[in-house]
Each structure stands twice: as structure tokens, then as C-alpha cells.
Amino acid sequence: MSLVVGVAILLTGFAAGVTVPRKTAARTAPSVPPASTTSTLLEILEPNVEQRAAYLGVLRELNRQFASNPDRAVRLGQNLCLDIAEDMPKPMVEDNVLKQFSGAVNVGLDQAPAIVAAANRYICPKITMNS
């Protein structure tokens, strides 16, 4: 008799919309620092004048044309920072450099790591890049 009652309770629970929790893999903590009331992700990704100049300087050293449109270059760097904030693996972020920066002038495989490092250092220094 108790088996019938147990099955009835179990079926009633499922009929009522009770769900059984599933085990999920532990998630890693996000690499973006928690936003305060005065800080948003956009503020974190907005370089000041010195950071912007340093980032564009690195791009110019690699190839003058990478920084020929400074606003576009900074936006592309911000996109890389979003990739970093999403814990995208470094090789994938570097692959995105090849896609995003290439145009009239192609980015070399040896230049992509330097561009990612510059974006992380000057545009989003508060975001930690995972390997």
C-alpha cells in the first residue's frame, strides 16, 4: 500500500510542475569584475586618452594602416575585450583579430597576439584574460 501512495505522491509532484534538479558542471567565475553602481561594462571598455593613444601606438608600430581609422581601431579593440570578458580561449580571440582587422591590409599570424595583448592592456586592463 505504501508503494502505491509513494507513486501517487511522485506523480502528483510531476503533475504540479515540480522539477527534479539536474547536476551541472561547476562554472568558473567570470573574468569581468563585478559592476558597481557607477561602473558598467561600457565604462570599463572606454579607454581614457592615454590608454587610447598607447593602444593606437602599438597598432601603428605593427602596421600604420591598422590605426588609420582610430575610432574603428578602438571599436575593434573593444570587441576583442568583449571576447576576453566572455572567457573565449586566447587562440579564438586571436582568430577574431585576423577576421576583424583584416581588410585592405591583412593581419599576420605573428601580429594577432600583439594586438590582443594591446587591447587587453590598454582598453580593458580590468578584465583578466584566461589562457
**What percent of the chain has a predicted confidence (pLDDT) above 90?**
50
What is the predicted pLDDT for the residue at 36?
44
- Given the C-alpha cell 578602438, which residue does it identify? 74
Tell me the average pLDDT across 90-94. 93
What pTM did the predictor assign? 0.66
Look at 1 and 115; give whichever has higher pLDDT. 115
Confirm if 56 and 73 have CB atoms less than 8 A apart.
Answer: yes
Q: How is 3-47 classified by DSSP, letter by letter?
A: HHHHHHHHHHHHHTT--PPPP-PPPPPPSSPPP-TT--HHHHT--
* DSSP secondary structure code for residue 120 in this structure: I
110 vs 45, higher pLDDT: 110
Q: Left (φ > 0), alpha (ψ -120 to 50) or beta: where does 26 sit?
A: beta
- The model's pLDDT over 43-63, given as tens digits with 9 standing for 90+, comes to 667 889 999 999 999 999 999
Average pLDDT for 77-99: 92
* Residue listed under C-alpha cell 597576439: 113
What value does the mean pLDDT take over residues 68-78? Answer: 93
The band of 19, judged by pLDDT with boundaries at 50, 70 and 90, is very low
- The mean pLDDT of 27-41, rounded to a whole number, is 47
Q: Is the pLDDT of residue 114 over 60?
A: yes
Average pLDDT value over all residues in the chain = 75
